[in-house]
Structure 1
Amino acid sequence: MSLTFTLDPAVTPALRDGVLDLWTDVSNAGGAVGFVAPVSRDEIRPDLVRQLAAMAEGRNRLLVGHDASGEVAAAAFLAFNSHRLQTHWVMLYTVMVHPRHQGKGYGRDLLAAAADAARGFDGIEAIRLGCRGGLGLEHFYRSCGYQEVGRVPGAIRVAPGDDRDDITMLLPLV
C-alpha cells in the first residue's frame, strides 16, 4: 500500500496530534529529527507549534503522508528562504516516516512528493536539507538523487562525547 500525500493539509486537532505522535515516535525510535530519545510529546509540542505558526505566516509548508487507515505515517516541512539572494531554493527538514512503516519505500515516496511539491513553487530550483552524520542518512539521500555539498565535522552534539557531522545535501530541481 502506498501513502496519500497532501501539501498544506487543514490543521485540525487530529492532524496536529498525528504529526506530534509521529515526531515523538520517530524521535524515540532513534530518528534524527531534532531530538534525542527518550522524548515526550510535551517536549516536542513547542517545536510543532513554531512550525504551525510559520505555516500560518506562509514561511513554511507541511507535507503529510497518510496510510490506508488515514493515520499520519510520514511528514516533512519545507521552509522558504527569506534571504533575498537565496530565494531560489527551499529547505526540507524534519523528514519523518513512522517506524512501523519503515522499510516499505515510504521515505523515497516522501522525498519524491517533496520534490514534486517544490517544483510547483514559483522560482524554486533546488531543495537543501541537513542530516546528522553517523547514521548513514547521507547514503539514503544520495540514493534519492541528493548530493552532498557540505559537511561540518562534530557540529551536532547528541550527548557528551558523541558529536556528529552536520551534512548538507542538495537536490537540483531543474
Structure 2
Amino acid sequence: MALTFEVDPAFDPALRDGITTLWADVTNAGGAVGFLPPVTPDEIRPELVKHLSGMVEGRTRLVVGRDEDGVVAATAFLTHNTHRLMRHWIGLYTVMVHPRHQGKGHGHALMAAAADAARAIDGIDAIRLTCRGGTGADRFYASCGYKEVGRVPDAIRVAEDDYRDDVIMLLPLFR
C-alpha cells in the first residue's frame, strides 16, 4: 500500500489534527522530531502553529503523505532560507512517517517527494537538514542521497546525562 503525497495541501482542521496526532505518535514511539516522550498533541500544537505561520507567509511548504484511508501518515516541511547569501538552498524539517507505516519504503518515498517539491522551486540548488545523532537517522538520510557535511558534538541534550550530536546533511539537487 503506497502513500499518496501532496505538496501544499489545503489546510483545514482535519489536516491540523492529523499532523498533530502523527507528530505525537512518532515522538512517543521514540522518533527524534523535536520533542521527547511522553508528549501529547496539546504540547505539540504550538510548534505546529509556527510551521503554519511559515506556510501562510510563504516561507514554508508542506509535503504530506496519506494512507489509503486518507489518514495523515507522513510529513516533511521545506523552509526557505531567508539569508540573502543562502537563498539557493532550502531546509527540510519535521520529517515523519507514522510508526505503523515504517519499514515499507514510505520514508524513502517521502524524501523523494520532498526533493521533487524542492526541485520545482526556482533558484533552489540543495536541501539541508539536521538530525539527532545516535538515532540512525543519518544512515537513513544517507541512503536517500544526503551527505554529512558537518556535526556539532553534544549539541542536543535529551536527558541530563545524554547528549547527542547535531548532524548536518546536504542533498545537492542538480549536480
Aligned length: 174
- Spell out the pairing of 1:58-137 with structure 2 (5 A cutoff): 58-137=58-137
CA distance in 2, matches of 1:159, 1:35: 12
- Spell out the pairing of 1:35-54 with structure 2 (5 A cutoff): 35-54=35-54
Deviations 1:118-168 (A, max 9, x none): 000010000000000001111111111000000000000011000000000
CA distance in 2, matches of 1:96, 1:34: 11
CA distance in 2, matches of 1:137, 1:77: 17
CA distance in 2, matches of 1:3, 1:136: 23
**SS of equivalent residue, structure 2 residue 94:** strand
CA distance in 1, matches of 2:13, 2:158: 31
CA distance in 1, matches of 2:142, 2:50: 29
CA distance in 2, matches of 1:77, 1:143: 19
Counterpart of 1:122 in structure 2: which amino acid? D
Per-residue deviation at 1:53?
1.0
1:6 is matched with 6
Counterpart of 1:134 in structure 2: which amino acid? G
Counterpart of 1:73 in structure 2: which amino acid? A
CA distance in 1, matches of 2:83, 2:113: 25
TM-score (norm. length: structure 2): 0.99
CA distance in 2, matches of 1:12, 1:69: 17
The percentage of aligned residue pairs carrying the same residue is 68
Gap regions ≥5 residues in structure 1: none
TM-score (norm. length: structure 1): 0.99
The runs of at least 4 aligned residues of structure 1 exceeding 6 Å deviation read none
Per-residue deviation at 1:87?
0.3
Q: Does 1:160 align with 2:147?
A: no
Gap regions ≥5 residues in structure 2: none
